[in-house]
Amino acid sequence: MKINAAQVKKLREATLAPIMDCKAALLETKGNLKKARELLRKKGLAHAKGLVGQKTKEGLIYSYIHTGGRIGVLLEINSQTDFVARTDEFKDLTKDIAMQIAALNPAYIIREEVPEEVVRKEEDIYREGAKGKPKGVIDKIVKGKMEKFYKEVCLLEQSFIRDEKITVGEYLDSVIAKFKENIVIRRFVRYRLGEE
């Protein structure tokens, strides 16, 4: 089967994967763009998971002021090498993440950062709301509501504002897979004018 340049370009824009990987995925899936995208995501996620734990001492500190100057974000994202941190793709990543933080106001990066007392308080609220139901049902309700809570307050679990079919974590994994080195969202602060 012959794959044309327009197909490869479209897949590359959708996945950020290298051109040769896009072409190979399209050949393997007989030109099916959706299946090629899924294939690249699976390969990329597998590769990205293998990079977790690699030291990240380079990167960028990025500031973003939302239109109107009422919301600002200060963000640090780290990479393994300065070479990656200087690329346009890395700068796009930092801007996308800063805009995500400005728009959806996450409180934490990952769920493991949520303090135990916050988790307990949320669980207690959900248990109280489900009072009177059987214990097994209450447990399921609490578990479901906690998953929703994490998707709201944890940056990597939020739906990505530029593509709601994926999470911020999946977007980050696709960039890690492209660069073939670990990238970590280290910390952020979000300011809103007049907020205490």
Co-location of 24 and 97 in the same domain:
no
Co-location of 147 and 162 in the same domain:
no
Q: Would the pTM count as exceeding 0.85? A: no
What confidence score (pLDDT) does residue 25 get?
84
Co-location of 78 and 141 in the same domain:
no
- CATH number (domain holding residue 34): 1.10.8.10
Q: Sorting pLDDT into bands at 50, 70 and 90, what band is 33?
A: confident
Co-location of 104 and 134 in the same domain:
no
Which residue range forms the structural domain that includes residue 34? 5-51
Co-location of 179 and 146 in the same domain:
no
Which residue, 129, 85, 112, is CA-closest to 169?
112
pLDDT in tens, 40-98: 766 665 454 554 555 668 899 999 999 889 999 999 999 988 898 999 999 999 999 99
Domains contained in the chain, number = 3
Ranges 1-15, 122-136, 156-170, most confident: 156-170
As a whole number of angstroms, the distance between CA 160 and CA 172 comes to 10
